[in-house]
Each structure stands twice: as C-alpha cells, then as structure tokens.
Chain A
Amino acid sequence: MAADRAYLPGARLGTGLASVETEVARLLTRFAQAGAERVEPPALLPADTLLDLYGEDIRARAYVTDDPVEGERMLRPDFTVPVVEMHASHGATPARYTYAGPVWRQQVPGAGRPTEYLQVGFELFDTAAAADADAEVFALLADAVGDEATVETGDIGLLLAAIDALSLDERRRAMLRHHVWRPARFRRLIERFRAPGRLADRLAALPDTAVAEHVRSLSPEIGVRSVDEITDRLHALREEAEAAPLPDADVALLDALLTLDGPMGEVLGRLRPLAESRPPLAAAVERLGKRVEALGRRGIDAAALPFATNFGRTAMEYYDGFVFAFTAPGRPDLPPLAQGGRYDALTAELGPAIPAVGGIVRPEALLAARS
C-alpha cells in the first residue's frame, strides 16, 4: 500500500507518520546533545565510489540509475560513505555528525525485507583514544534503543591481528585479509596454505625455466594482461608451493579464536593465553581490554556483554574493529534496531586515514518493536 513504510503499515500519513517524525526528532536531538553536527548527505551518489569500495556486488544491493551527463548514480544504500567524504573535504578532526533519512537497498525476492527504510546515525572521527571513542558510540546507541534490546558485540580487529601473527609471507597474509569478510573463502585459503604441495602438483607441467615461452606457446597474446604478469604470478604460485605450510599451531590459533563466544570479560580471559608470544594479537587483545574499561567508565558492565569473535564477519563488511548490534528480543522479523562499529580502513580508502566509529538506528524497526 502506498501509505505503508518499513515495518509500519500506514505510517506515511496521520498519526503513524507523526510518531515516526517524533522518533526521528528524538534520536537527532539525542545525538546532537552528544555533540554531533547535523549533516544531510545527498541521496544520489556517484556509482564509481561505491563500485570501487564494494565491487560489482553492490549493483545487486543498491539501486542504480543513470544520468546522461553525470553518469551512473546510485541511490544511497548507506550514509557512512557520503559522511566520510564530507568530513574528508570539509571537516576538522575530531568531529561528530548526525543525520537522518531514507536508504534504499534491493532485497532478495520473497525475503520480505523493505527496500526503503530510515536510518538515523551518529559518526565520530577522532584520532584520540580509540577505546573511548568506541565506548562513546556504543553507549550512545545503547541509550537510544533502550534497555529492552538484546546486544551482540564482536571485534574484527582480533582476526585481522591474528592474521598478522601467522607465520606467512606478506602475499599470503594480504590474501587472507582480503577475505576476512567472506568466511567460506577465508577457510579455503587456510586449507590451501596448509597443504602447499597440492599447488606443486598443479604446477608440475610447467618447465623449470622459460616459463614465459611456455605461456606464449599456449595461444596468441590477447587481452590487456601481459605474458609478464602471467609469468610473475606463476612464479609467485611456485614460491607458494615451495613455502613451508601454515603451521598447525597457526591453524589451531585461528580455530580457537574464531569459536570464542561468551561474555566479553570471559572471552578476554581466554584470549590472553592465545595471544602469548604473538605481539600483533596481544596488541589487539590489549585494545579489547581498554575498551572494556572505557565502557565501564560510561557505566556499562562490559565484562558481561555478549561477545563473539565471528560476529560481524558477513553482514558488516567495512567494519575492521569493534562491532555491535542491538536486536529486538522475540522479533526475528525485524532487522537490528541499531548497529555500528569501527571503520578505520574505510576512511583510508576514501581519503585521508582518520580513525572512525559510528552507528545507525532504524527508527521504523524501533517503533515496530515497541508496539
């Protein structure tokens, strides 16, 4: 029906609309009280930026439209990217921003999820203590959704740090980092690095020398990828095939790390022995410890917060540190009422690297959960 909106039948007019407007205003006021400046990013974004960030997949998730002069545009699937760009060109760090408006997402047919829904968000750009910034945003979003919500937390930074701690060369580490947000592909890479011999079988047909000649013998040279590039990668694969396998202890570390699930304080206790003699991971565990303290200073019993190392690995792809979501208990039909996290790497992709953490509330889902 024309008057229906996400999770709220008929709420595009009358009292339904009034309650949505009131809720959006309440959230904006709450975020402004926390020091945020109101911003209003455009709804039509240049497609290139989003395609560069998310790849071709974004076309199946965002709505693409075309302007004969401006070129391909996308209906904003998310506020974070335009807010980061706004900050990069106009803002001075530290900065806090708030915004409200619709986002548009294509959904799987039959999934029953809305293609247009409201977000009210808060983003914090700050080079000072990350733990304090994490705690500030989490506490603010927790307060905005209220006590009823169920909370989930995680930290993508732990897995990224564990990758840095593995006995691998930089090439293979980069491959793992690239697939942190795709668990099945990540697992296939681990299996491949465990048994480099399989790669050797595949390369057995290659001559020991004159690899480039061999490549040229296969077919005429067509396409932009040169024989040199192909030869370079064949050499890299051969090196990988001859490299030491990923040690069992490293695989065990990843397995142990990725199955941690429990109260944050307890997980922290179990992480400490895992991080022993692995400095990059130890630093990430230290950051988690500092976050627990910073949350405590804001009156949150962080040690008791549910925490899972695997949380946020599929649905929240640009987050690379602390991640969290608040859901409505007993309402599997609703998406998270609020979610957010740290996305330092995203800012570096779009402009100058600025440590950043933020989150959004879905006011329509929040109202539906209360009703």
Chain B
Amino acid sequence: MKLGLPSKGRLQADAIDWFAQWGLTITRSDGGREYAGTVAGLDGVELVLLSAGEVPRELAAGRIHLGVTGTDLIHEKLPDRAATVAEIAPMGFGHADLIVAVPKLWADVETMDDLDEVASLLRARHGHRLRVATKYHNLVRGFFREHGIADYLLVDSQGATEGTVKNETAEAVADITSSGATLEANHLKILGDGLILKSQATLFASRRAEWTAEDRAALQTLCARIGTPAPL
C-alpha cells in the first residue's frame, strides 16, 4: 500500500505527527534530504513523497493508495472526486479557507450580489469584465455560478495573488487564507458570503488504485486504529 505524503514543510511534519498517534512511525532517510523514507508500525506500507499539489492527481491515477492533501486541492483538481477518491479522515491541521476578497476601499461591496452588480458597472465603465485572480479555477467558477454571476473573467494566479489588485491585473481575488493577515496587508477584505470552501489536511484513499488483499488488510488495520470505517 503506497502512502503519498507532502515532500516537505509544515504539512509533512504535521502529517508525520498525526500518523505517529496511530502507531505509524515515518522516518525520512538521509536526515530529510533524500525524498524517501520508511514507515514502521504497519506492515506493507510504502512511503511516496511528492508535492501536496500532485497528491490529487496521483490518487486519481491510482498510483498511490492513500494520500495526504488539502480538501481544497481535491475539490479543485478532481471534479469527479466521488468516483476517484474516498475521504478517510480529516487530520485537524492545515486549516485554510478559500474565500473571495475585494479591496477594502469598496465600501459598497459586502456580498457576492454586490460583486455581481459591480461587475456589470465595471464592464460598462472600463470596457473589460471584472477580473478575479485565482489558481482555483474550477471551485471559483462553480461558486460564482451558484451565485448567478457570469460577467467576470478568471485570471490565473499561481502565487502572490493578493498583490494582483494593487498591480491592476485583477479587481478581486479568490485565494486560501488562514489568518487573514496577508489580505489585510494588501488592503483586501473578505465578502460576507464569500467563503467558497473550508479546507484542512485530509487522508484520502484512491478508488482507482489496485487494492490487493494485503493492501485492504493494511487499510482495515489503519482505519480500525483511527476509529473510522474503511471506505473501500
């Protein structure tokens, strides 16, 4: 059974601690420089280290059996997620909200409905549609559709998204925030009904991977320790 884990950082450290409480000891080789490691405490588990952003793809392809990643990435990257992955357990860290934010200057905008009206006005006044900078294209598009907003333009932003408004490459942003400090520093505010998704690090199982009898037994044992029914 292949377990996909973020290859570095806080998310990896928290995940290792989380597995430790269920009796799985994960040790990085070569003091953490080599992207490899071992799992002790549960037979037949092989560690695969990869970028958190790649975990959804690897789960969907069935190249890993289990994977740790944020629910935001699963929702964004796997539109057909019910058929590809099963949630085993939220892990209680990596909390972040995907939200819609606009300039604090916009005293007239508090809700998504306001944003919709401003989108029409902006297009009439400036000749272009309201630009929303984000890397979460699918989630944002779905959320805007639910709110009846069509007259906008998604602008891809893979980083420093909060700076796009000041740089005049976007009018609004949709991004992950945990404390709100970055938004505040960039003179942005969250819309009252602008919460798209509450995300946290979560352990997922792939429905597409090949599960041998041994893999299933390992999953059963792990789930029994966590105290949750095995989803597969």
List the interface of chain A (C-beta within 8 A of B). 51, 54-57, 59-60, 108-110, 175, 178-179, 182, 184-185, 188, 202, 206, 214-216, 218-225, 227, 229-230, 233-234, 237
Contact = CB atoms under 8 A, between A and B. Distances in A.
Interface of B: 79-80, 82-83, 103-108, 110, 113, 116-118, 120-122, 125-126, 129, 137-138, 141-142, 144-145, 147-154, 165-166, 168, 171, 187
Contacts of B106: 225, 230
Given A56-B152, A223-B165, A223-B171, A230 B80 contact: no
Contacts of B108: 230, 233-234, 237
Given A51-B153, A109-B80, A225-B171, A219 B105 contact: yes
B118 A233 contact: yes
A57 B148 contact: no
Contacts of B151: 55-56
A219 B103 contact: yes
Given A56-B153, A109-B79, A184-B148, A218 B107 contact: yes
Contact of B148 (A54, A182, A214, A218): A182
Given A224-B168, A225-B106, A233 B145 contact: no
Interface residues of A: mostly helix, strand, loop or mixed? helix
A57 B143 CA distance: 11
Contacts, number: 97
Contacts of B82: 110
A339 B80 CA distance: 29
A224 B138 CA distance: 26
Given A55-B152, A57-B141, A224 B105 contact: no
18 contacts: A51-B129, A55-B129, A57-B150, A60-B145, A110-B83, A202-B110, A206-B107, A219-B103, A222-B166, A223-B105, A223-B165, A223-B171, A224-B122, A225-B122, A229-B125, A230-B105, A230-B108, A233-B108
Contacts of A237: 108
B141 A60 contact: yes
A184 B79 CA distance: 24
Contacts of B79: 108-109
Contacts of B138: 60
A107 to B, nearest CB: 10
Nearest to A185: B148
Nearest to B164: A223
